[in-house]
Amino acid sequence: MERDLRSSMARGAVWMLLFKAVDRGIGLASTLILARLLVPQDFGVVAMATSFIAMLELLGAFGFDTALIQRQGATTAHYDTAWTFNVIVAAAVGLLMIAAAIPIAAFFNQPSLAPVIGLLALGSVAQGFENIGIVAFRKEMNFRKDFQFLAAKKLLTFPITIVLALWLRNYWALVISILAGRFFGVWMSYRIHPYRPSFTLAGARDLLHFSKWLLLVNLLGFLDARLSDFIIGRVAGPRALGLFNMSYELANMPGTELVAPINRAVYPAYARIAGDRPALQREYLYVMGMICLLAVPAVAGIAATATLIVPVVLGPKWLEATATLQLLAFFGITQVLQSNTYSVYLALGRADLFARVKTLQVVTLGIALVALTPAYGLTGAAVARLVTAAIMLPLALGVILKTLQLSPARLLGALWRPAAASILLFVVVDAFSRAAPNGASTPALALRLLSAVALGVATYLLSVLILWLVAGRPEGAESSALSAAQQAWRRLRNPDGERA
């Protein structure tokens, strides 16, 4: 059973990573184009609007999809109740957005925000009608269908965004594309899944018992991600906020592009084995080892190549973001190491524990941002996140280890080799990146960036392999990755033999 479960997790992770590859490919192309068609202020205006909208949408973020996955015996009544709640809350949120549009515009001293928020309210209302049946894709670990649904939304939105940016040359291109993506997502959800929900609240008691904590967790997650938006936007204006958000997005790419898909795939598996503590311990250590093996070197690479990424990827208008990007990349490493804990808490039905840890993190971050941002601007905001991470990482890992009854030594045994190899990667690649000649052309910097990536990959793979061999070839993420690579190589060399 354990092997079948791990195989299902692996297939799910592959489908979710494939979606993220599609999503990031589209996102990177979009960023490269939009960063040159628009200006940082355009991104800042949209960030202000979406920060406020995300806050209001949290009023309805009960996480019913998560509750349906965690509840192994969920019935049609539970699914229909979840959909009914989504519709009711979405309508209420839309009305609140329209009512608060003018006050929020006044708060940021940006009159143009009011019509932006008013238009985006339509998208929030529409999203509430999304077919709840698509949750079954994840619950049944049918990630191929989940991939089809998620990828279709991205593939349609991309050309709309680019055409609008070429035509309008302002933030309205971003606003209208967001709206179009939400409407298309609703339509697609009914095309791809046959389930047809109906209005009922019959399963409300069962769902709300679990989801009340998810509402708090989602609110805390919003504050953790967006608190800097409100403070930077208020203190430094839309340009500074645009620079910070672009840096934050790039620094967290490994977390959003590698780790989030893995966590999306493993949560249903964790829910199935939540009652078997030794099995949950083994799978948690295995997943954490794989996350560290894949994501930590990616974040270290971003930190090491920040001086090349900004001029090559974003262009000269964004050079002020270089130092912020590097600082936030170090912060991103701490987020990667904490990312899988939420899935474990949800599977165990202990979202309350995660909420308590998250509350302390948000309070610490708020204090640090208020203390450092007014005096030091973007750098102060980035340092505030680093200080918060340094305080919270040991605490967060300590709580999850106690919850799972795991020793720190077992976790360290799964993580130390890729962590040590990532440190070596950073040292080597950072020195190579900083040796770029001053005044080099963009093509020359692009070539050096590609060379830095190749150097980093070679350094990391060689060092992690040596450390694994020296450690006696223990079972874990390295052995699984090596086995998967060998199987892929055999299929590539002899595809007919594999089918036979």
C-beta of residue 69 within 8 angstroms of C-beta of residue 268: yes
* Residues 216 and 262 occupy one common structural domain: no
Average pLDDT value over all residues in the chain: 83
**pLDDT, average across residues 347-365:** 89
Same domain, 226 and 332: no
- Residue that is last in its domain, among 221, 251, 281: 251
Can you tell me the mean pLDDT for 200-228? 78
Considering the domain architecture, whether residues 214 and 301 belong to the same structural domain is answered as: no
CA distances (Å), origin 398, targets 295, 338, 406, 419: 21, 11, 9, 18
Looking at the fold, whether 290 and 197 belong to one and the same domain comes out as no
Tell me which of 135 and 452 has the higher pLDDT: 452
Q: Is residue 165 domain-resident? A: yes
Of 44-48, 138-142, 461-465, 493-497, the range with the highest mean pLDDT is: 461-465
Which of residues 88 and 168 earns the better pLDDT score?
88
Q: Could you give the number of structural domains in the chain?
A: 2
Q: Do residues 77 and 198 touch, judged by C-beta distance below 8 A?
A: no
Domain for residue 323, yes or no? yes
Return the pLDDT at 499: 45
Domain boundary among 227, 251, 275: 251
* Residues 83-96: tens digit of each pLDDT: 998 898 888 888 88
Let me know if residue 494 belongs to a domain: no
pTM: 0.70
Q: What does the pLDDT read at residue 408?
A: 92
Q: Out of 76-85, 268-277, 396-405, 421-430, which region has the weakest mean confidence (pLDDT)?
A: 268-277
Q: What is the pLDDT of residue 3?
A: 57
- The answer on pLDDT for 373 being more than 60 is yes
The reply to whether 15 and 159 lie within a common domain is yes
Mean pLDDT confidence for 102-113: 81
306 and 401 belong to one structural domain: yes
Q: Which residues contact 7 (CB under 8 A, 6 or more apart)?
A: none
- Do residues 310 and 210 share a domain? no
Cα–Cα nearest to 305, from 124, 471, 433, 152: 433
**Per-residue pLDDT for 430 more than 70?**
yes
Domain, as residue range, for 142 = 1-251
Output the six-digit token pair for 82: 């979840």
What confidence tens digit (pLDDT) does each residue in 250-260 have? Answer: 888 776 667 87
Residues 6 or more apart whose Cβ sits within 8 Å of residue 26: 154, 155, 158
- Which of residues 226, 251, 276 is at a domain's end? 251
Residue 376's SS3 state is helix
Asked, for residue 495, whether it belongs to a domain, the answer is no
The band of 172, judged by pLDDT with boundaries at 50, 70 and 90, is confident
498 occurs within a structural domain: no
Mean pLDDT confidence for 187-211: 83
Note whether residue 491 is domain-resident: no
Does residue 333 belong to any structural domain of this protein? yes
Query: Could you read off the pLDDT of 27-82 as tens digits, one per residue?
Result: 667 666 776 666 667 777 777 777 677 666 665 556 677 777 777 677 888 889 88
Output DSSP code: residue 310.
I
Residue 173 sits in the same domain as residue 279:
no
User: Could you give the residue ranges of the DSSP H alpha helices within 202-276?
Assistant: 204-236, 238-251, 253-254, 260-272
Predicted local distance difference test score (pLDDT) of residue 394: 92
- Give the model's pLDDT for residue 202: 82
pLDDT at 295 over 60: yes
pLDDT of residue 176: 84
In a domain, 30, yes or no: yes
Q: Are residues 78 and 213 in the same domain?
A: yes
Say yes or no to pLDDT of 297 above 90.
yes
Q: Please check whether residues 64 and 177 belong to one and the same domain.
A: yes
Q: Do 231 and 366 belong together in one domain?
A: no
Tell me how far apart the alpha carbons of residues 198 and 159 are, in angstroms, rounded to a whole number.
34
Banded model confidence at residue 383, pLDDT cuts 50, 70, 90: very high
Name the token pair of 84.
């009914």
Q: When comparing pLDDT for 362 and 489, which is higher? A: 362
* Interatomic CA distance for residues 395 and 387, integer angstroms: 13
**Is residue 500's pLDDT more than 50?**
no
Residues 92, 107 within the same domain: yes
What does the pLDDT read at residue 366?
92
